[in-house]
Chain A
Amino acid sequence: MIAARHDNNGWRKIKSALASVLSMCAAVLVIAPLGLVFFYLLQKGAGSVNWNFFTQLPKPVGEAGGGMANAIAGTGELLGIASLIGIPIGVLGGVYLAEYGTSTRNWWLRFVADILNGVPSITWGVVVYGMVVLTFKSFSAYAGGLALGFMMIPLIMRTTEEVLLLVPNGYREASLALGISRWKTIVHIVIKTASKGIITGILLALARIAGETAPLLFTAFGNRFWNRNLAEPIAALPLQIFSYAISPYEDWHRQAWAGALVLVVGIFVINVLVRFLTRGRTATVL
């Protein structure tokens, strides 16, 4: 009896060790691609990231040097336009889900938001191409920003809803019991309490769309100069990387690597910022 239990114990220990080794391997495999991406980008692109890269326009074909200043600025402008569309609609949608909606309506809204989250990003490009580009007969920063903004809405909506639901009901009750209206309670008490979580959601959505190329292909289209009119085509970092990477020129390939490195580092910085905002909080993202 005792011997049998011993045997049993031994086998259990083996199984336990096996399980922990397997899950550790899986964990390493999760980290490995990130390490590879960074390593590869640094190796290929670090040499081409210099002051000119951030300050100069692309040089004409055949001329060495130049940079992606217009694409970096363009990505910034596109993210700005996308934020103007995505943040208010996403946050208000999240507020509706968390504070106003009935359970049936919320079920449908969440269902739709989840489908939207799963829509391939090229689809947004096509839709906005049909809606905006064809209507105004021009590629434009507006069109590109709109396509990215559409992608932000469901992302921000769901994270906003989640963090608002984490705000304890006692705060809503305390505010309402002071004779403060429902809307003011939501804005000044609930959203304020959850503001870090909402900002986190917005940053994650920005990080998610900053590298999108497909929705910009036939909306923002890209260009090789400074964009001075948002109703005209605009450069974006991912677009520039795309067109440089498929070009036949060695110098452009190097710049594409550098652009990819800058993009990934930018997204990495956003994620670090998110970590910083949510540090020391596990259960609540408030």
Chain B
Amino acid sequence: MSNLTMSSPTPISKSSGITPTPPEDSNSQVAAPAFDVKNLSIWYGEKRAIKDISIQIPARTVSAIIGPSGCGKSTFLRCLNRMHELVPRTRIEGQILFNGENLYRPGSDPAMARRRIGMVFQKSNPFPTMSIEENVLVGLRLNGVRDRHVLNERLEKSLRMAALWDEVKDDLKKPGMSISGGQQQRLCIARAVAVEPEVLLMDEPCSALDPIATARVEELIRELRTRYTIVIVTHNMQQASRVSDRTAFFYVGELIEFGETAQIFSSPRERKTEDYITGRFG
């Protein structure tokens, strides 16, 4: 997968000359962070899945979260748009500020947060009863948008943004499940961007795709970063190095290191990070 001919925005080779100790906070303070997570802990029943994580995720960049299975990557991602609340008996401690506002303000509607913070899942999941068009527009329609003009405009815009328009523009009425797996995943991205969120959370979006479809989605992620804050969980380190600006390494529920992707992959500060990215475990 790593040998695909794609121009990575941050190739590893270029970064080899970077000094091993870039100031940790200077980058994230360039702009106000999209997410400011303070001392976050998450429990599933008795099990503590996330342990006291503090991290600032900058806006309009791609941040990748890597780490071995079961290290809490997905759990962390899911609490950025309150999706983890769907699992019974979860408990959260600490604070997450989204654009300076408390994401977990008591009494606030999780649906409002999710409208601004979209999500793309590991397994592409277009709604089986809906056509391609209905799939893209479902978020708008069910949130009360009726204007045919707005819907048409958003349909094309979203599909173009997901780099799918040219492939499906003549088949908009066909079932969403009728297109290929890679196209379905891009349809899910179109569906997520149609409601115009500010953030896209991606939970291993390519893990069920073949290398060519993966390349298309990765290309798309890099295009989307000019408009969205993207947080992507991946178990594929090459993918993290290809698509992300910054990378966080999680290990058994703890954040080990977060920094420029180039720096993480060339000269990690932590021994554990180095062991993981060089394949000594995980």
Contacts and interface: CB of A to CB of B under 8 A. Distances in A.
B123 A177 contact: no
A195 B130 CA distance: 13
B125 interface: yes
A177 B142 contact: no
B81 interface: yes
Nearest to B116: A179
Contacts of B115: 178-179
B49 interface: no
A178 B127 contact: no
B127 A177 contact: no
A171 interface: yes
Contacts, number: 71
Contacts of B113: 179
Residue of A176, A182, A184, A195 contacting most chain B CB atoms (<10 Å): A176
A170 B118 contact: no
Contacts of B191: 174, 178
Interface in A159-180: 168, 170-180
Nearest to A170: B125
A176 B127 contact: no
A229 B251 CA distance: 73
B127 to A, nearest CB: 6
B139 A189 contact: no
A61 to B, nearest CB: 56
A176 B86 contact: yes
B127 A193 contact: yes
Contact of B125 (A168, A180, A188, A286): A168
A170 B83 contact: no
A181 B111 contact: yes
Nearest to B194: A178
Nearest to B135: A174
Contact of B192 (A170, A177, A195): A177
B11 interface: no
B121 A170 contact: yes
Residue of A176, A178, A188 contacting most chain B CB atoms (<10 Å): A178
Size class of the contact patch on chain B: 20 to 34
A182 B142 CA distance: 11
A224 interface: no
Nearest to A182: B111
Contacts of A175: 127, 138, 142
B129 A177 contact: no
B177 to A, nearest CB: 11
Interface string B101-121: 000000000111111101101
B111 A179 contact: yes
Contact of B111 (A170, A173, A180, A188): A180
A44 interface: no
Contacts of A173: 83, 86, 119, 121, 125
B143 interface: yes
A189 B191 CA distance: 14
Contacts of B138: 175, 178, 180, 188-189
A226 to B, nearest CB: 42
A168 B86 CA distance: 14
A192 interface: yes
Interface string B76-93: 000001010010000000
19 contacts: A168-B125, A170-B125, A171-B125, A173-B119, A173-B125, A174-B125, A174-B188, A176-B83, A176-B110, A176-B111, A177-B83, A178-B195, A179-B112, A179-B113, A179-B114, A179-B139, A180-B111, A180-B138, A192-B127
7 tightest Cβ-Cβ pairs between the two chains A and B:
A179-B115, A178-B139, A177-B119, A170-B125, A179-B114, A180-B142, A174-B125
